[in-house]
Chain A
Amino acid sequence: MSSATHAADHHDHDDHGPAKGIGRWLFTTNHKDIGTMYLLWSLLMFFVGGAMALVIRAELGMPGMQFVQPDFYNQMVTMHALIMIFGAVMPAFVGLANWMIPMMVGAPDMALPRMNNWSFWILPVAFGILLSTLFLGGAPAGGWTMYPPLVLQTGDAFPMLIFSVHLMGISSIMGAINIIVTIMNMRAPGMTLLKMPLFVWTWLITAYLLIAVMPVLAGAVTMLLTDQFFGTSFFQAAGGGDPVMFQHIFWFFGHPEVYIMILPAFGIVSEIIPTFARKPLFGYDSMVYATASIAFLSFIVWAHHMFTVGMPLTGQLFFMFSTMLIAVPTGVKVFNWTATMWKGAMTFETPMLFSLAFLFLFTIGGFSGLMLAIVPADFQYHDSYFVVAHFHYVLVPGAIFAIIAGAYYWLPKWTGHMYNEKLGKLHFWLTTIFVNLTFFPMHFVGLAGMQRRVPDYNVIYADFNLIATVGAFGFGLSQLLFVVVIWQAARGGKKATAEVWDNPHGLEWTVPSPAPYHTFDEPPTIGDLDDIGRLKGT
């Protein structure tokens, strides 16, 4: 066709600013715009899912049913989890990847910019469909794990649940493909794999996990759909199927999924701690290998979520051992972070504070995870609040704290303004105190015998539940501070330098703040990373 029409839409990138109006966001192919949309979307979903958590906590504030019917309670639990996992945490990581990875590897943009836009714009559709079920006779109430046969009692929301999960899968797969291709193919000349920032490394491995397991989830829910509407017998014993088979397929996705929600967090923390310890990351290579081994192991531990389904003994033993093994590479990471702080010259700006809290609290969540791996003990822990405590420790002060830390760390690079440090620190302390107030007591009620997914409980659990509820509301309200900080930094404030922090490592700090709409149109050449990379000092 005539190249004339092209001239219109893509001549000279260099001085090509953002388009005007809503069109900029609908049609954009710019990794920074798309990253921003992902991050704002994730914040919105965090509040929606959090609001649901507050409904849960309100009902659990004291024994007896005060606010909602049991079925609505189950809807809240199910939606809360789906929204937090697929709507808040994963998009937040993809948003950070969009913003930072091209800048970290010195690429002009993501490798497949149009598909990048699509990955994002599928999300509002997926969650629009999912959330609409709340107003169409009831949301799914079978738990985020969607176990049959219960999930088949969902009613009209059922197909909408299935298809929204399909859409979330399509979105993450396209996003993951884009990230892998960008990392594999768009690195500036000279940036060998083992010179990549750790955030890039962890995302590379996460993207691999995503492409490997999201299709499996799609397959699992597709089987639910056909069992429900087309008479197949995948999960019915009468026809030679087995409800537990769904659990195997789901957790083959589900366990890697939980590492999908923590590996990028590891990456973020591995960027932040060296900066504020003023010392290169300790044991870079072993960090990379540890991440890879965690990813590998995550494929052979799935049935630790199913110790009570009555697997043959050998199966239980295998999954117990393989699960315990994961403590080793994770430990390596924790120790490397500690060694990075060791003999450093630390300062405690907000990103560092959140990273430190991550270090302590994630590790605690990891410990409870290890306890859960001990099968005989898990017979007591399973489906009790001890599990709820475990995964909120790894997800909230784990994943969420790392995301918040990353947001503070790169906010000046995004907005060009320093955020309000005082408010940031206040946000940190409130958040950290309240998060423990919320989730620590759950260990106790869990061990004492309170099961998950119930709207009401015996009076012996009352005190700790009240504490948790107070903590939850405190935690939630503290997050409004976060919004204020972001808002302020976006609107104005002290101008940020290109480096922002005390000579941090990484290409993203070589471009001005705010980062121009197009960065690295000409790839930088990385002979030796001394001035900008992690090799500094080695």
Chain B
Amino acid sequence: MAEAHNPDKYYVPHGSKWPVIGSVAFLFMMTGVSAWLNGSDIGQYVMFGGVAIMLYMLFGWFGTVIDESESGIYNNQVDKSFRTGMSWFIFSEVMFFAAFFGALFYARSFVLPWLDGQSNNFFTNLLLWSGFESSWPSNGPANVGGDYQVMGPLGLPLINTIILLSSSVTITIAHHAIAEGKRNIVLAFLGITVALGFIFVALQAEEYIHAYQEMNLTLETGIYGSTFFMLTGFHGLHVTLGAIILLVVWIRVLRGHFTPTGHFAFEAGAWYWHFVDVVWLGLYIFVYWL
């Protein structure tokens, strides 16, 4: 035992069944959803089976890590590995969103003007889309998806912005509190953060329903609908994920897992939360506002 706990040694686990289980989960999820999209009903069951395995794996894997961390075999170097790893993971997430923002900017500043005959596309407009005039938002020269209303920056989106911004305030307060070991304050403000997160998601869902039912604004609404729902949709998924992470952290705080110095999981969750926050600001400005 002494060996394993030796703090000046980097902890290297010996064998783990979780990764392979995760791969099996992927196998079921990906083949399942493929079959489903190809129109076979069993596909969805296979996929949900995979999701179940994935959840089992995540519980098991993180459970193991939490236990190890609790038993104190992680030294600072291990902690640093987790931090560096988490920050690069967030960077990869940023790049994923960058692809969709890129699509938005490219469509707005190049494709639509070209379709309306600008730059070297005189004939594109004259022969193929005569009469089309570039503007934003747009569902394209063929009015794909039919007439629609634009989702403006006020109302729900504004409320959601306020919610997310205040949530990053509350989590910062919780962060300071955890560093000072004030557990109840942590529980209170982290709890508020999680709540705000789920409220945000609920309102987002409300907004979607409104868009689909009253505004005829759907995924099919040309490039505007595509970028709108893909960007806000993926962001919504990330908020949900972040809220779940923070919920887990909240439970761990309840169980007294963290010390003023050792609370990486909390910080990771906080970083992730700030990341979805920043993405939202980008969304609010470029998708709702401009």
Give the interface of A toward B (CB within 8 A): 1, 3, 6-7, 9-14, 16, 19, 23, 26-29, 107-109, 111-115, 117-118, 121-122, 124-125, 128-129, 156, 159-160, 163-164, 166-167, 173, 176-178, 180-181, 184-186, 211-216, 218-220, 222-223, 226, 229-234, 236-242, 245, 248-249, 252, 310, 312-313, 518, 521
B49 to chain A, nearest CB (A): 15
Contacts A177-B89, A245-B106, A245-B107 given; indicate if A113 touches B119 (C-beta within 8 A): no
Give bound CA distance, A215 to B88, whole Å.
12
A5 to chain B, nearest CB (A): 8
Please state if A310 and B142 are interface contacts (CB–CB under 8 Å): no
Residues of A within 8 A of B141 (CB): 237-238, 240
B84 — nearest CB in chain A belongs to which residue? Answer: A181
Interface membership of chain B positions 127-164, coded 1 if the CB is closer than 8 angstroms to chain A and 0 otherwise:
01100000000111110110000000000000000000
Residues of B within 8 A of A242 (CB): 106-107, 110-111, 114
B270 to chain A, nearest CB (A): 19
Please state if A232 and B219 are interface contacts (CB–CB under 8 Å): yes
Checking B9, B85, B145 against A181 with a beta-carbon cut-off of 8 angstroms, the contacting residue is: B85
Give bound CA distance, A237 to B145, whole Å.
13
Contacts A181-B84, A215-B96, A239-B223 given; indicate if A118 touches B4 (C-beta within 8 A): no
B231 to chain A, nearest CB (A): 11
Give bound CA distance, A156 to B81, whole Å.
41
Contacts A238-B142, A252-B102 given; indicate if A159 touches B222 (C-beta within 8 A): no
Residues of A within 8 A of B112 (CB): 240
Contacts A125-B27, A249-B102 given; indicate if A240 touches B85 (C-beta within 8 A): no
Please state if A1 and B85 are interface contacts (CB–CB under 8 Å): no
Contacts A181-B81, A181-B88 given; indicate if A233 touches B19 (C-beta within 8 A): no
Interface residues of B in 106-126 (CB under 8 A from A): 106-107, 110-112, 114-115, 119-120
Given contacts A27-B15, A232-B220, A249-B102, 10 further A-B contacts (CB under 8 A): A7-B1, A27-B19, A29-B15, A121-B20, A125-B27, A159-B37, A163-B30, A166-B30, A213-B95, A241-B226
A-B contacts, 7 of them at CB < 8 A, read: A10-B12, A13-B14, A128-B27, A218-B99, A229-B37, A241-B226, A521-B9
Please state if B20 and A26 are interface contacts (CB–CB under 8 Å): yes
Interface membership of chain B positions 1-39, coded 1 if the CB is closer than 8 angstroms to chain A and 0 otherwise:
101100001111111111110111011001101100110
Please state if B99 and A219 are interface contacts (CB–CB under 8 Å): yes
Contacts A112-B81, A114-B19, A124-B23 given; indicate if A10 touches B4 (C-beta within 8 A): yes
Give bound CA distance, A13 to B110, whole Å.
58
Checking B1, B16, B71 against A1 with a beta-carbon cut-off of 8 angstroms, the contacting residue is: B71
Residues of B within 8 A of A125 (CB): 23-24, 26-27, 30
Residues of A within 8 A of B10 (CB): 107-109, 186
Which 6 pairs, one residue from A and one from B, show the smallest C-beta to C-beta distance? A219-B99, A240-B140, A118-B19, A240-B223, A12-B3, A232-B226
Please state if B99 and A220 are interface contacts (CB–CB under 8 Å): yes
Interface residues of chain A: helix, strand, loop or mixed (majority): helix
Give bound CA distance, A383 to B22, whole Å.
40
Interface residues of B in 72-92 (CB under 8 A from A): 73, 77, 80-81, 84-85, 88-89, 91-92
Give bound CA distance, A6 to B68, whole Å.
8
Checking A28, A156, A230, A231 against B38 with a beta-carbon cut-off of 8 angstroms, the contacting residue is: A156
Please state if A13 and B12 are interface contacts (CB–CB under 8 Å): yes
Give bound CA distance, A178 to B89, whole Å.
10
Contacts A27-B20, A245-B103 given; indicate if A240 touches B81 (C-beta within 8 A): no
Please state if A177 and B85 are interface contacts (CB–CB under 8 Å): yes
* B100 adjacent to chain A (CB < 8 Å): yes
A321 to chain B, nearest CB (A): 19
Residues of B within 8 A of A212 (CB): 91-92, 95
B11 — nearest CB in chain A belongs to which residue? Answer: A10
Please state if B13 and A240 are interface contacts (CB–CB under 8 Å): no
B12 — nearest CB in chain A belongs to which residue? Answer: A109
Give bound CA distance, A16 to B12, whole Å.
11
Residues of B within 8 A of A156 (CB): 38
B153 to chain A, nearest CB (A): 21
B132 — nearest CB in chain A belongs to which residue? Answer: A240
Please state if B120 and A312 are interface contacts (CB–CB under 8 Å): yes
Residues of B within 8 A of A180 (CB): 84, 88
Interface residues of chain B: helix, strand, loop or mixed (majority): helix
Give bound CA distance, A477 to B270, whole Å.
55
* B206 adjacent to chain A (CB < 8 Å): no
Checking A6, A28, A219, A239 against B4 with a beta-carbon cut-off of 8 angstroms, the contacting residue is: A6
Please state if B91 and A211 are interface contacts (CB–CB under 8 Å): yes
The CB with the most chain B CB atoms within 10 A, among A113, A230, A237, is that of A237
* B224 adjacent to chain A (CB < 8 Å): yes
B102 — nearest CB in chain A belongs to which residue? Answer: A249
Give bound CA distance, A231 to B225, whole Å.
10
B40 — nearest CB in chain A belongs to which residue? Answer: A156
B86 to chain A, nearest CB (A): 9
A522 — nearest CB in chain B belongs to which residue? Answer: B9
Residues of A within 8 A of B20 (CB): 26-27, 117-118, 121
B135 — nearest CB in chain A belongs to which residue? Answer: A240
Give bound CA distance, A178 to B92, whole Å.
13
Residues of A within 8 A of B223 (CB): 233-234, 239-241
Give bound CA distance, A219 to B103, whole Å.
10
Please state if B33 and A211 are interface contacts (CB–CB under 8 Å): no
B238 to chain A, nearest CB (A): 13
* B70 adjacent to chain A (CB < 8 Å): yes
Give bound CA distance, A108 to B97, whole Å.
35
Please state if B140 and A237 are interface contacts (CB–CB under 8 Å): yes
Please state if A163 and B12 are interface contacts (CB–CB under 8 Å): no
Residues of B within 8 A of A173 (CB): 89, 92
Residues of B within 8 A of A109 (CB): 10, 12
Interface membership of chain B positions 206-235, coded 1 if the CB is closer than 8 angstroms to chain A and 0 otherwise:
000000000000111011111101100000
Please state if A238 and B70 are interface contacts (CB–CB under 8 Å): no
Please state if B13 and A10 are interface contacts (CB–CB under 8 Å): yes
Residues of B within 8 A of A114 (CB): 13, 16, 18-19, 61
* B203 adjacent to chain A (CB < 8 Å): no
Interface residues of B in 29-62 (CB under 8 A from A): 30-31, 33-34, 37-38, 61
Residues of A within 8 A of B128 (CB): 237
Checking A11, A14, A117, A312 against B1 with a beta-carbon cut-off of 8 angstroms, the contacting residue is: A11
Residues of B within 8 A of A159 (CB): 33-34, 37-38
* B67 adjacent to chain A (CB < 8 Å): yes
Please state if B14 and A226 are interface contacts (CB–CB under 8 Å): no
B223 to chain A, nearest CB (A): 4
Please state if B106 and A14 are interface contacts (CB–CB under 8 Å): no
Please state if A211 and B4 are interface contacts (CB–CB under 8 Å): no
Contacts A239-B222, A242-B111 given; indicate if A234 touches B96 (C-beta within 8 A): no
Checking A27, A226, A237 against B115 with a beta-carbon cut-off of 8 angstroms, the contacting residue is: A237
Checking A121, A163, A213, A238 against B140 with a beta-carbon cut-off of 8 angstroms, the contacting residue is: A238
Please state if B16 and A27 are interface contacts (CB–CB under 8 Å): yes
A8 — nearest CB in chain B belongs to which residue? Answer: B14
Checking A6, A164, A184, A248 against B106 with a beta-carbon cut-off of 8 angstroms, the contacting residue is: A248
Please state if A185 and B77 are interface contacts (CB–CB under 8 Å): yes
Give bound CA distance, A129 to B28, whole Å.
10
Give bound CA distance, A181 to B1, whole Å.
27
A164 — nearest CB in chain B belongs to which residue? Answer: B30
Please state if B107 and A215 are interface contacts (CB–CB under 8 Å): no
Residues of A within 8 A of B38 (CB): 156, 159
Please state if B95 and A240 are interface contacts (CB–CB under 8 Å): no
* B180 adjacent to chain A (CB < 8 Å): no
